[in-house]
Amino acid sequence: MVAPLVLSYYVVLRSVVRLKPWLRKCLTRCRHCRIYFLTHACNAGRQDLGCPFGCRESHRKGQSTRRTVAYYREPEGKAKKRVLNARRRKTPLPPPHPALAAASPLPWPRGIVEYVRVVVGLIEGRKVLLTEIVEMLQRTLRQHRMVRRRRIDQAVAWLNAQPP
């Protein structure tokens, strides 16, 4: 399931590096899963990076958990946790802030969108805003496939794939 995705990703990555040879210095490997990816120019040459496809977040979460566990096992952390638990039991939860509820979440994982933003910025040689990337992805995913079938054959194939 993942192998075809990685293979198509490598085809695109290889074609980008061939078209833009100066990006070869930004090509690096994930220290966890060993997949190649493009990094920002300021991180070029580093060997300790995690890929934006999940390794970076999982490593960050694991380290955070280790730090938290170590802190709350110390006497100072135990006392603070006791105070926090007592305070939580006494007061009810406040209602959610309306400004936070109004923010629309991204339809894709934020790490992937950020990676696409960095790669597009490297390819185009300029800073790219996150909103530009979201608009570009929505526009791209809204396009229909280019098929060489008659319209009726395409409709029948679509109905077979997604029955009513």
pLDDT confidence band for 56 (50 / 70 / 90): confident
Spatial CA neighbour of 122 closest among 131, 111, 133:
133
- Does residue 16 contact residue 36 with C-beta atoms inside 8 Å? no
Distance CA 117, CA 128 (A): 6
Q: What is the pLDDT of residue 156?
A: 72
Strand (E) or helix (H) holding 132: helix 130-142
Q: What is the pTM of this model?
A: 0.55
Query: At residue 65, does pLDDT exceed 90?
Result: yes
Q: Identify residue 97 by its one-letter amino acid code.
A: H
Q: What is the pLDDT of residue 155?
A: 72
Question: How would you classify the pairing of strands 27-29 and 36-38?
Answer: antiparallel
Q: Is 9 helix (H, G, I), strand (E, B) or coil?
A: helix
Q: What is the pLDDT of residue 63?
A: 92
Q: What is the pLDDT of residue 61?
A: 92
From residue 21, alpha-carbon distances to 24, 25, 109, 158 in Å are 6, 8, 29, 41
Region 6-15 average pLDDT: 87
pLDDT confidence band for 154 (50 / 70 / 90): confident
Q: What is the pLDDT of residue 94?
A: 63
The per-residue pLDDT of the chain, averaged, comes to 82
pLDDT digits (tens, 9 = 90+) for 109-128: 888 888 889 899 988 889 99
Q: Is 28 helix (H, G, I), strand (E, B) or coil?
A: strand
Report CA 21 to chain centroid distance, whole Å: 25
Task: Give the CA count within 13 Å in the CB-facing half-sphere of 114.
Answer: 11
Query: At residue 101, does pLDDT exceed 90?
Result: no
What are the residues whose beta carbons fall under 8 Å from the beta carbon of 122, sequence distance 6 or more?
A: 20, 23, 26, 38, 40, 41
